Amino acid sequence: ENPTGSNVPASMLFSEDRRNEMVYKVTVHGIPGPEPFTVFPVSEKTTAKQLLQQILTATERTDSDVTDYYLLEEKAFISKEKNECKKQPFQRVIGPDEEIEKILSSWCPEEGHVGRIIFKTKE
């Protein structure tokens, strides 16, 4: 449960756009800067590639190629049992055509699954 008392994860907070398209706020971790994460608006149809372009624009890396970066989904299981050993988080590369909102909606905090999106540089 988040501080407002609802079961909606913070990464899924939304507002309604004037065109009646839902706009979600997604938290992206790992972006270089003073904060450990940055929040970006996405629509229901925003792809990972489009989000990467937003990130590059926001971080003034407009001379960078979007293919030099990728997004990583990290899902963790949060146990309510104190004696249960902590499992390693599941990580996977998000494909450029995947819709961000679908990834966010696959996380089920009420079932103990939490997730985050991480910005990475290809090496």
Paired residues of 85 in beta bridges: none
Using DSSP, state whether 29 is helix, strand or coil.
strand
| 34 pLDDT above the threshold of 80 | yes
Residue 102's CB: how many other CB atoms inside 10 A? 10
Paired residues of 92 in beta bridges: 73
- Give the integer Cα–Cα distance in Å for 122 and 86: 29
pLDDT in tens, 42-97: 999 999 999 999 999 988 877 778 889 999 999 988 776 665 666 788 999 999 99
The whole-number pLDDT of residue 6 equals 45
What percent of the chain shows pLDDT beyond 90? Answer: 45
The whole-number pLDDT of residue 11 equals 52
pTM over 0.95: no
119 close to 59: Cβ distance less than 8 angstroms: no
Can you give the length of the chain in residues?
123
